[in-house]
Structure 1
């Protein structure tokens, strides 16, 4: 079974990788030995991780499946599954960023070269996580809109009202 490659997503991934590399390269000196900045990153990503868990819970709710036969529900479950996979990877980016910061703090003062590499790495992953997080509100609105439309359709069906 071959999967069709979404060229727009590939372009996004390439651009995001390049921009994250540029960002981490230029902003690493500002993060180095700046505990306040590190604390802000940790706080923001901790909050985002909690928010994302709530989004994953909403996305995975079986009530988000479209009404109708089991075949319709099965097709809807594939869309839901794909959404969950994307959210899972975003959550992993958050955790990787937090883990890299944790390791950096643990080895502080012991291995300056490794600390620099870790700072570049968590700025890189943090940039990617931040940019992808801007899609979350739109995803949440889309999900809630689908739920409202499904509920309206179910109520119309319950009252034997058909779309003409």
Structure 2
């Protein structure tokens, strides 16, 4: 299911770029918005990666219990690191496009400039769509933390699990 979502995100990015990419070509206001949004998202994602790597997310109990959850945490960290890389690539393509936008046509053609704008729009839309699942993921992490704390307090009070 995750692979379908990722492929669908890229498809949405490509379609948006195909049909609306010309609105970005030479549009300095749009480029400024893209850079700002993806810079903020990259900073936000660094915070998310920090939260995901927090050892307090490991379940209480033995080291074996914690070890069994290591792979799930590492998988999340890897996925979010790839999203961070996608943000940086998007910003990088925008930067290259901004630098080359003022180059004369003898150096770089208008078609190439247009292609760069289309690529950064496709990458930007893809990254944005992939980011839409993050609030739910963060909510799930916080819910698990609260549940773990409630279970710990119940255990300290001598109350058996609610199972």
Q: Give the TM-score normalised by structure 2.
A: 0.90
- Which has the bigger relative contact order, CA under 8 A and spacing at least 6? 2
Unmatched runs of 5 consecutive residues or more in structure 1 = 1-7
User: Partner of 1:122 in structure 2?
Assistant: 120
Unmatched runs of 5 consecutive residues or more in structure 2 = none
Residue of structure 2 aligned with 1:99, choices 92, 116, 123: 92
SS at match of 1:32: coil
Give CA-to-partner distance per residue, 1:20-59, whole Å, 9 cap, x none: 1111111111001110011111111111111111111111
User: Partner of 1:18 in structure 2?
Assistant: 11
Moved over 4 A (4+): none
- Are the equivalent residues in 1 in contact too, given 2:90–2:124 (CA < 8 A)? yes
Residue of structure 2 aligned with 1:27, choices 17, 20, 29: 20
* CA apart distance, 1:102: 0.4
User: Partner of 1:135 in structure 2?
Assistant: 133
Give CA-to-partner distance per residue, 1:110-158, whole Å, 9 cap, x none: 3133222211111111011111111111111111111111112222223
CA distance in 1, matches of 2:143, 2:74: 18
